[in-house]
Structure formats: structure tokens, C-alpha cells
A and B are shown apart, each in its own frame.
Chain A
Amino acid sequence: MSTTSEPTTQHPEIDPLTPVLSADWGEKRSWTRAVYETGGGYDALRRGLREMTPEQVLTEVKESGLRGRGGAGFPTGMKWGFIPQENPNPKYLVVNADESEPGTCKDTPLMMASPHLLVEGVILASYAINAHHAFIYVRGEILHVVRRLQQAVAEAYEAGYLGRDILGTGYDLEVVVHAGAGAYICGEETALLDSLEGRRGQPRLRPPFPAVAGLYASPTVINNVESIASVPGIVRHGAEWFASMGTEKSKGYVLYSLSGHVREPGQFEAPLGITLRELIDMAGGIREGHELKFWTPGGSSTPILTAEHLDVPLDYEAVGAAGSMLGTRALQVFDETTSVVRAVLRWTEFYKHESCGKCTPCREGTWWLVQTLKRLEAGQGEEGDIEKLVDLCDNILGRSFCALGDGATSPITSAIEHFRGEFEAGMHTPAWELFPYRASSVFAPEVTPA
């Protein structure tokens, strides 16, 4: 089994896996308030609301070093601190539960198994920013998660944890579970706000930032599910406890999601800074008889990496230094049977489909990228197609209105950098001949006798 002895890990005495968010997932009926409370659930709420002022909760979160788990890694306490308390408008908390970045699959099991952990975090976060209305914007395509959230919120109202005069402290909070309707762009925080106002989900110009003019043009904090669900642990056990896990600038525990060609894909909750080598080891290794070819550290919008990067500590700094981004820690693992061109084309088709159409570089650019990649997949690439891809990406990156456009270029430019030969082969040989697609599938051994 692996160790955590790589140099950047600050606290080598910490265990390799540290289930906090996922601690209850194995319990029967873990989604109920009763079971949640057997593990100390809502203890942080009592401590926070009865023994701490909103400023103290905010300070605790600031000092913990918690950074946003939705992709960008912005310090959560600092974000809360941007809310102008002197602004006379109501303050709002919006939880981003849109989880749609390809490869990302952590918030969904969290909300399914431990919806009360999120609800408790919502109450503490709302209290800290003086909000009396919070929304959980959950993608509509995860119906059972919607059910579990609805029920958890209802149970919290019954218990007096939501509504008027919570726990007799005089603090009031209303929480609404709001189901989206299928649009990746609504995960982008300003598009999410437009969507939550009942409009097409298109990004807004910033500034003004949501902290100043967000939902209904009022001060608004938008946080990822996992960020908010990390708050009860911090309030319950303290900033120092939280910061004792992780690396120097990347503190705490996070969910790492392994998918693809590993023997046991799944969720692994560890201190920030674990490596893919360690995680693959924990997931039983790459599937029998195969080897790692490429992987995404944090979803399809983060540049792909290769076997060369197996020992990069998976924290914000080290992954950035390796030329990618930690993103959502959506570790999609592909072995040598996989065609890079096929994978990249499919992701690009996704971005083209999900482009909101507001700006030209993204709307037109993703269309051209798909056309070019399709030719290369079919072995009908034309002279100059690779340069064309790079050129198109150049024109999208940094010139798009929001980060969806930038993200669309990540898989392409990184794949060309690491696997240019495969794109060149696309001038004459179809990808499915170079990499018979069935060989990549999980049921390949069943249907193709060895």
C-alpha cells in the first residue's frame, strides 16, 4: 500500500485516506436526519449558531484555508468576506450543485448519501454571511439526488434547523431546492444566477461580481457543494484540525473521483496532495494487462496528463506547475487501447453542444474544431489540420466571454502536445483502425474471445 511521504505533503503523520465527507456513506439510511445525527451531525450547527457570531464562523473558515472545490480553488472564507454587509439588500447563498463537468462525479454521491451534511453547511454558511435565503441549484438529471435533498430540507425544517428562530437563536433561514433543466453552462456561476432568475443560462459580464450584485442584483455567495459540505467539519473541529491535512497552500480533505480503466473506480477521500500513482494503487491498479496512457486531473476542461505525471501531488499548486489544473479532481483514466483523437473529439462535441452561443470565438470556434477533429478521427485529415486546430484554440483561449470556451481548448492543445503522432496518423488512418474501439470497453473480454 502507498504512503504519503512525498516531499510536498506537509503532515506525513496524516493517514493516506481521511473520510470526513464520505464517512457516513456506508451507513444504512445515511440520508436521514436520525442517522446523520448519530455521527455528530448538526453538532456544528449548535456550536456555530449558539456559541459563535457570524464573524467568528467566517474567521474559522478563513483560517482553515478551505478553497473552493468547484474547480477554481478560490479561498472560501475570503469570498464570504467580500459580501458588503453595509449593502441594504438581502444577502443570498447559492449552492452550485450543477455537477456537469465531464468526469466529475463527487457531489452527486455526496448529496445522495449525506444530504444533511450539505444542509448543515448551508445553514452555517448563510449564518456567516447574514443570508436569510439560500438556494441549492441541482442539475435536473439526477432525480434521486433531488428527492434526497428535498427530504433532507423538509426534515431540517421539522427539526427547527430551518425556518424562523433556528434553535431559538433568533436566526431565520429559508432554503429552496431548485432543479435545473440540462445545461452545462449553468454551472458557470453567473449563468447559474441568470438561470435561477428564470432566464436562459448565459454568463454575465463581470464586474460587477456576484458578491456585490448577484441574485436579484443583491450580494450573493456561490459555492460548490463540496465546499459547503466541508464547513460543518471546520466549525465542529476547528480550523487547525482542517489545516492539519493537505499541503502548504492546499488544505484539508477532498473527494478524488477515479473513473475509467482502473480495476475499482470510485470515490477516495484524501488530504490534498495525494498522487495519482497512490490513488490508482488504491483502486486496484490499471485494469489487467494494460497500462496508463493519459488522464485528466480535474475533468475534461483541465489539460490531459500522462504517465510522466503519476507522481505529481494532486494539489492546486503542483498540478498547475505540471501544466494542468486540479479542477474538480475528476481523474478520468485511459489505458493504451484508447484513441486520444476519439476522446478529444467527443469532448469537443460536448463543448460545441453546450456552448451558450453568446460569443463568437466559442460558438463558431467549437463548430470548426469538431469538423476538423471528425476528419482526423476518420483518417481523412487534411494537410495543415493540426496547425488549424492549434490556431483555432489560440483564437478561443482568452478571447471567449467565459471559461467554457477556454476549457474547450484544454483537451485539444494538451493532446496535441503529448500525442501529436496520433493526430498525424489521422491524415491517413481512421482512429478505430489504430485503436479498435471495442478493446477499450469494459465488456470487451466478454464479447471478443481472447
Chain B
Amino acid sequence: MTQQQSRQVQTPPISEDVRAELVEIGTRYPQARSGLLPMLHLVQSVQGRVTAEGIEACAEVLGLSTAEVSGVATFYTMYKRRPVGDYHVGVCTNTLCAVMGGDEIFERLKDHLDVGNDETTEPVDGLKDITLEHVECNAACDYAPVVMVNWEFMDHQTPESAVQLVDDLRQGNEVRSTRGPRICTFRQAERVLAGFPDGLADEGPSAGIASLNGLQLAQLNGWGPPPGRVGTDADRAQAVADQDRAAAQATAEDGQEGAAATQASPAGTKHDDAPGTGDEAQ
């Protein structure tokens, strides 16, 4: 397929630097082989998929056969044999999300992007590539229907908001996760999974709206656990923490707006007004 070939060009080799990072991953563990999953994530962060070259590099670093590494790589669904586009869009179609509208969202996106499951959009000059896939329950059922972009949450989607979302992604517009940071590329995301932080942990809110429903109700009613014990330790910790908190608040910027916005939303906020795409991000 010409589509596949044109992507081959964007496959940088596994350089000496990458090899050094593969070795470094192994040193995090009592036994280096434990690093194989993060190593394969690193391969994907460089090459957009698990290549034969990447498998060889991991095998070499760990002293395994390529068959052994390959056997591991093929077991896990996050490792891709075919090149993934700039953005991986996963629509949750496990039962809860499917029933709440995930099936319809997935159908609409297949149609809109003209791709099937686990396929990538045809390359077009000036547009980013999207790989579309339906995914299993992503531990966000209280935000159904859920779409994942490069494994960041896009909560409370509708067919319309999802179309807007992929259009924004294709055009390279900034998109923010509803419970996370600005969306980075698939390869950048894979690097974080390999254990190399990208400094975006402080973006996004503490929690989304749904996560706070019980807490807010408890606060409203003055409910809580029975009083615990307070001791000198607690007092000391409190004093130290008060200082730290003052310092933290002085430096806190990014992410605060997100958290504030989330808390400001009353529990009664309707969920069907398609938050989460470009609109909310602006």
C-alpha cells in the first residue's frame, strides 16, 4: 500500500541514544527483562509502531531471541504492527459506553474519516493522520460515552463533539483533554509510558465533575468519617504543610483554571452539551 510506504519515511532508526535509553529502562528493575514493556513503548515513541528493528534492539539489549520479544509484543493490544498516525483515537464501545452512545460515535467517526476499525486516514498534505480504533472499558464509565485521544480522556462525547474533535486534531488545532493536558502526539505519549516524564503532570484538573459528585454531596450535608485522632505528629505536619501550601499557591498557574472550573460546576450540570472538544479548551 502506498499509504504504508509513505509512512515508512517517517520512521527514524533506533539510534545509539535510543539504545542507551533502552538499557537505562532495564536498570530500573532488579531484573532488566522487567523493562521489556516500557522498552516496547519507547520503540513506539520513536517509530510509531513496533518494528522488526525495534524488536531486534530490545532482544539485543536483554539477550533474548527476537522470537521471544515478538511473542511478548504481539500479546498486548497497545503495541501496533502497523504505523499509528499522529493521533490515536479510541472510542470506548464496551457495554456501558456503547449503550450510552459509544456505538453511534464510533459509526459516525468511521464514516467521517472514511476508515474502518484500526485503520489510519489517507495521508493528505497539511493534515495530521488519525488512527481510529474501538477500545475496551477505559475506567471512565462515569463519564460515558468516552473517547480517548492518545490515551487522554475526552469525556462526555456525542457524535457531533467527536467529529469536531477529530477535525481539530487533523487540522493541528490545540485540543485539551477534559481531564488532562493539551493533547500531545502519539509518539510523545508513548515516551511517557516508557517512563520518561514530559512535564505535563501539572496540567488539567484534580478531578472531573463526576468524580466529585459524592464528595460535593457530603460537603453539602456536612457528612464525613468519624473524627480521627490528632496528635503532635499531625500538628507538626500541618504546620509544615501550611508553609508548603503557601509556596505552592504562589507558583501554581497551569491546571488551576481547570480545577477551578471543575469545582465551579454544580453537580446538576447537564452532561449532554458536548464539552470536551475545542470549545472548552479555548
* Residues of A that sit less than 8 Å from B by CB: 1, 14-20, 22-35, 37-43, 46-47, 90, 99-105, 107-109, 112-113, 133, 139-144, 146-148, 150-151, 154, 176-184, 195-201, 216, 233, 236-238, 241, 244-245, 253, 256-260, 264-270, 282-284, 300, 330, 332, 334, 338, 342-343, 346-347, 350, 353-354, 356, 437-438, 440-447
Report whether A133 and B248 are in contact in the complex, using a CB–CB cutoff of 8 Å. no
Report whether A244 and B95 are in contact in the complex, using a CB–CB cutoff of 8 Å. no
Query: In the complex, what residues of A have CB within 8 A of residue B223's CB?
Result: 15-19
Closest Cβ of chain A to B172, distance in Å, is 20
Report whether B75 and A201 are in contact in the complex, using a CB–CB cutoff of 8 Å. yes
8 tightest CB-CB pairs across the interface, nearest first? A237-B228, A266-B213, A268-B214, A198-B36, A37-B241, A441-B101, A181-B76, A259-B141
Query: In the complex, what residues of B have CB within 8 A of residue A442's CB?
Result: 100-101, 144-145, 156, 158, 271-272
Report whether A146 and B225 are in contact in the complex, using a CB–CB cutoff of 8 Å. no
Q: Given A25-B212, A143-B152, verify A180-B37 contact (CB < 8 Å).
A: yes
Report whether B78 and A181 are in contact in the complex, using a CB–CB cutoff of 8 Å. yes
Report whether B77 and A143 are in contact in the complex, using a CB–CB cutoff of 8 Å. no
Report whether B226 and A29 are in contact in the complex, using a CB–CB cutoff of 8 Å. no
23 residue pairs bridging A and B, Cβ less than 8 Å apart: A17-B218, A26-B219, A29-B248, A37-B244, A100-B137, A101-B137, A104-B137, A112-B207, A140-B41, A141-B135, A150-B197, A181-B78, A181-B193, A198-B35, A199-B72, A237-B228, A269-B215, A282-B217, A283-B213, A332-B95, A342-B98, A442-B158, A443-B104
Number of B residues with CB within 8 Å of any CB on chain A: 110
Report whether A100 and B139 are in contact in the complex, using a CB–CB cutoff of 8 Å. yes
Q: Which residues 120-159 of B have a CB within 8 angstroms of A?
A: 135-145, 148, 150-153, 156, 158-159
Closest Cβ of chain B to A57, distance in Å, is 15
> Is B52 part of the binding interface, using a Cβ–Cβ cutoff of 8 Å?
no
Report whether A28 and B259 are in contact in the complex, using a CB–CB cutoff of 8 Å. yes
> Is B96 part of the binding interface, using a Cβ–Cβ cutoff of 8 Å?
yes
The answer for the CA separation of A264 and B270 in the assembled complex, in Å, is 9
The answer for the CA separation of A113 and B228 in the assembled complex, in Å, is 22
Q: Given A144-B180, A253-B225, A258-B142, verify A350-B136 contact (CB < 8 Å).
A: yes
Given A260-B99, A266-B211, output 20 extra A-B contacts at Cβ < 8 Å. Answer: A25-B206, A26-B219, A30-B259, A37-B240, A46-B237, A103-B96, A112-B179, A140-B151, A140-B193, A141-B148, A142-B138, A151-B201, A179-B37, A236-B229, A237-B228, A267-B215, A332-B141, A354-B136, A440-B99, A442-B144
Query: In the complex, what residues of A have CB within 8 A of residue B255's CB?
Result: 29
Q: Given A26-B263, A113-B211, A195-B37, verify A34-B245 contact (CB < 8 Å).
A: yes
Q: Given A40-B234, A201-B75, A268-B213, verify A181-B41 contact (CB < 8 Å).
A: yes
Q: Given A198-B36, A264-B267, A338-B99, verify A143-B216 contact (CB < 8 Å).
A: no
The answer for the CA separation of A144 and B194 in the assembled complex, in Å, is 13
A18, A139, A334: the one contacting B139 at CB < 8 Å is A139
Tally of A-B Cβ pairs under 8 angstroms? 363
* Residues of B that sit less than 8 Å from A by CB: 28-31, 33-38, 40-41, 62, 71-72, 75-79, 90, 93-96, 98-101, 103-104, 135-145, 148, 150-153, 156, 158-159, 177, 179-181, 189, 192-195, 197-198, 200-202, 204, 206-219, 221, 223-226, 228-229, 231, 233-234, 236-238, 240-242, 244-245, 247-249, 252, 255-256, 259-260, 263, 267-268, 271-272
- Chain A residue with minimal CB distance to B78? A182
- Chain B residue with minimal CB distance to A106? B139
Query: In the complex, what residues of A have CB within 8 A of residue B144's CB?
Result: 259-260, 265, 442
Report whether B99 and A441 are in contact in the complex, using a CB–CB cutoff of 8 Å. yes
Report whether B95 and A183 are in contact in the complex, using a CB–CB cutoff of 8 Å. no
Query: In the complex, what residues of A have CB within 8 A of residue B263's CB?
Result: 26, 28
Query: In the complex, what residues of B have CB within 8 A of residue A113's CB?
Result: 206-207, 211
